Amino acid sequence: MKINGTDYQTIWFDKEKKVVKIIDQTKLPHQFTIKDLKTVDDAINAIKTMEVRGAPLIGATAAYGLVLAVIENSDQSFLKKSSENLIISRPTAINLKWAVDRMMNKLSGINNDKIFEIALNEAKDICQEDIKFCENIGLNGLKIIEEIYSKKKNTVNILTHCNAGWLATINWGTATSPIYQAHKKGIPVHVWADETRPRNQGANLTSYELNEEGIKNTIIADNTGGILMQRGEVDMCIVGTDRTLANGDVCNKVGTYLKALAAHDNNIPFYVALPSSTIDWNIKDHKDIPIEDRNSEELSHIEGIDEKGNIKKIQIYPKKSKAMNLAFDVTPAKYVTGLITEKGVCEASTEGLRKLFK
């Protein structure tokens, strides 16, 4: 997708320099910086500090992290240790483990000089597959937007939470992909972008990427969605997910659950868009999902740009106050109208998912 009119993907490999290139998302929307990851520890650090974030993108970064590990030291013991460190770099999104397991399946037992090409090809395949899956999510979700538009015959207002846009994936995004497809088809769409405290991914990333693609959007405080729904100003919600259980429960950025409750109370369709790499087929009870508990400084401090264009961080809470920063919550399947996947749209239930993914 576009930044300043130029097409980008969020991650790629520079074969000449043997480095992984990422867009540093901690600097957006104020500065557009491309950063080099040279070692597996650089990849782990980029995931931890959220220079890269969003479930599919951290999976892809972990995959490329193993390519960097192979360049550093292709001993199986080093790769095993690196893969363990990558998996624990952020706990909630299942894509990390999914991508690392897929890479290690290819790399385990390989002790010859083909290992680099094998690793690079697999990391590239993971990215190419994600792009295709996200594009298909868009085409499948487009049908839902078209249906709403055919009845309403006016701008379709879509509420989203956090950033499940192309910046969270390799390209297209999950929740935003149907929106991009609708826009391409000439359907008038407008997005309510939840600010998404504390890190403001909705304001800093979703609004930013929609602006770059020329899609109308308005940032709202996280608590505004309810009144907009009561006023009839939201036609549908589409969010992403970091881990979807086989029973259709959805773990996503904290605050998603409250939006789903408000949507339910107002009879507004609440869709979740995901590639199959985000499905956890093993955990049965959502209480077993590891919910990331991040540094409370993300709440007590805020970053912005001053009048001279410098990025500044300031404290906004009393120094003595305690803050708590749970990063994700779970929306029970009963509040989810449907799951938009690369294979089609299904009910958020064991039967629904089983029909699509045998």
Q: Using CA atoms, how far apart are residues 58 and 74, in angstroms rounded to an integer? A: 22
Rule CB under 6 A: is residue 122 a binding residue for ligand MRU?
no
A 10 A CB-CB count for 237 gives 27
Residue 242 designated active-site: yes
Residue among 178, 240, 255, 352 that touches ligand MRU (CB under 6 A): 240
Strands 236-239 and 279-280: unpaired
> Does 337 interact with ligand MRU (rule: CB under 6 A)?
no
Residue (54 or 138) nearer to ligand MRU, CB = 54
Among 197, 253, 259, 286, binds ligand MRU (CB under 6 A): 253
**Three-class SS of 76-105:** HHHHHHHHHHHHCCCCCCCHHHHHHHHHHH
Q: Which residues of 133-164 are buried (b: 16+ CB within 10 A; e: fewer)?
A: bbbbbbebbbebbeebbeeeeeebbbbbbbbb
Calpha distance 46→311 (Å, rounded):
19
Q: Which of 20, 119, 164, 250 is close enough to bind ligand MRU by CB under 6 A? A: 164
Which listed residue (83, 241, 277, 337) binds ligand MRU by CB under 6 A?
241
Give residue number: closest CB to ligand MRU: 240
- The reply to whether 55 sits near ligand MRU by the rule CB under 6 A is yes
Structural contact between residues 220 and 320, judged by C-beta atoms closer than 8 angstroms: no
Give whichever of 107 and 178 is closer to ligand MRU, judged by the CB atom.
178
Q: Which stretch binds ligand MRU (CB under 6 A): 208-216, 217-225, 237-245, 312-320?
A: 237-245
Which residue is catalytic, options 42, 242, 280, 329? 242
Within 10 angstroms of residue 72's Cβ, the number of other Cβ atoms is 14
Select 118 or 283, whichever has its Cβ closest to ligand MRU. Answer: 283
Cβ-count burial 225-234 (b if 16+ within 10 Å, e if not): bbebbeeeeb
Does 260 contact ligand MRU by CB under 6 A? no
Residues at the interface with ligand MRU (CB under 6 A):
53-56, 93, 162, 164, 168-169, 173-174, 201, 240-242, 252-253, 327
